[in-house]
Amino acid sequence: MSSLQSLDVVARSATTLPPPQARRTVEVAKLIDVSTCIGCKACQVACMQWNDLRDDVGETHGTYDNPRDLSPKSWTVMRYSEVEQQENNLEWLIRKDGCMHCEDPGCLKACPSPGAIVKYSNGIVDFISENCVGCGNCVTGCPFNVPRISKVDNKAYKCSLCSDRVGVGLEPACVKACPTGAIQFGSKNDMLDYAETRITDLKERGFAQAAVYNPAGVGGTHVMYVLQHGDKPEMYHGLPKDPQISPMVSIWKGIAKPLGVFAMLGAIAASFIHYVRVGPIEAKEDDTSKDNA
């Protein structure tokens, strides 16, 4: 699902050579200011509408989270966390969850199917469904638990950051719909600058630990948060403090691949050379022309 051209691809799953990258576009980012989010879910509705997705009606579990989780048809979900750090000071922390569009995407690293996951030069990480084989490796690789595999078609789905809209100069649907301006979209540099003004404001209002969430462990993200409590991202429905691609995934999709191939091809080559240099073992009395099966 992409309207961007192959010129804009900077990384492609299961591909060993660099993709065409003569053109460089500006890196974009979506900035979600948790402190000005009112939890109206207009972003969820806009996401459904633009992407033409209608999830099944689920069931409540006593909170405002609806649907309860991300799904192949719900690419963004508001997470409502009720936190009481000090007595009689309830905070309602509402985080719009979805793909973070990592600069170093674990899903792309883990994907075995060439071109099923691409990263554009603007930073968007996109799933190209026609190339998806349904193995679930993207789920294994993702540090944010975002991709969902459909039980109907066994394809992986997640937020595309509206790559089709961004590709023609529009902002993502959720940004367009947000009534409070809590979701902003622009170049990554502009978003970082804007985040600084928000953080300054929050600090003046007593949130000394206010910070932007742009985790370095995954090379930064193209979806960032402004958090009132930047020192405790876990309070926001378990947002990881220092997310990174699991070392297991790094071994599996890093050193293991060339070493494994080298070992296997090396064993075949060594066997052949051994035969040529040393020759076979033959039982002398045998007529060997007959006993080769």
Partner 1 sequence: MASAKLLDRYDRTTRTKHWSMAILFILAGLSGLAFFHPSFFFLTGLFGGGSWTRILHPFLGTAAFAVFALIYFKLKNHNKFEPVDREWLAKSGEMLKGNKAGMPPVGRYNAGQKMVFWAMAIGLLVLLVTGITFWQPYFRGYFPIDVIRVAVVLHALSAVVVILSLITHIYATIWVKGTLRAMTRGNVTEAWAKHNHPLWHKEVTGGK
Q: Which residues bind partner 1 (CB under 8 A)?
A: 14-16, 112-114, 131, 133-137, 139-140, 145, 149, 151, 154, 246, 248-249, 251-252, 256-258, 260-261, 263-264, 267-268, 271, 274-275, 278-288, 291-293
How far apart CA 285 and CA 177 sit, in angstroms, is: 88
Complex with partner 1: residue 88 or 292, whichever CB lies closer: 292
State in angstroms the smallest separation of the CB of 19 from partner 1: 13
Complex with partner 1: residue 57 or 293, whichever CB lies closer: 293
Buried b or exposed e, range 274-289, using 16+ CB within 10 angstroms: eeeeeeeeeeeeeeee
Complex with partner 1: residue 85 or 288, whichever CB lies closer: 288
**Cβ–Cβ under 8 Å, residues 119 and 244:** no
Three-state DSSP at 136 gives coil
State in angstroms the smallest separation of the CB of 99 from partner 1: 17
C-beta atoms surrounding 12 within 10 Å: 22
State in angstroms the smallest separation of the CB of 119 from partner 1: 16
Determine the Cα angle at 248 with ends 246 and 254, to 5°: 100
State in angstroms the smallest separation of the CB of 216 from partner 1: 21
**Cβ–Cβ under 8 Å, residues 149 and 111:** no
How far apart CA 44 and CA 37 sit, in angstroms, is: 13
How far apart CA 150 and CA 198 sit, in angstroms, is: 38
Complex with partner 1: residue 208 or 261, whichever CB lies closer: 261
Complex with partner 1: residue 9 or 29, whichever CB lies closer: 9
Complex with partner 1: residue 112 or 181, whichever CB lies closer: 112
State in angstroms the smallest separation of the CB of 131 from partner 1: 7
State in angstroms the smallest separation of the CB of 215 from partner 1: 18
Complex with partner 1: residue 172 or 215, whichever CB lies closer: 215
Determine the Cα angle at 29 with ends 226 and 107, to 5°: 100
How far apart CA 65 and CA 59 sit, in angstroms, is: 10
State in angstroms the smallest separation of the CB of 172 from partner 1: 27
Give me the phi and psi of 116, to 5 degrees please.
-80, -25
Three-state DSSP at 156 gives strand
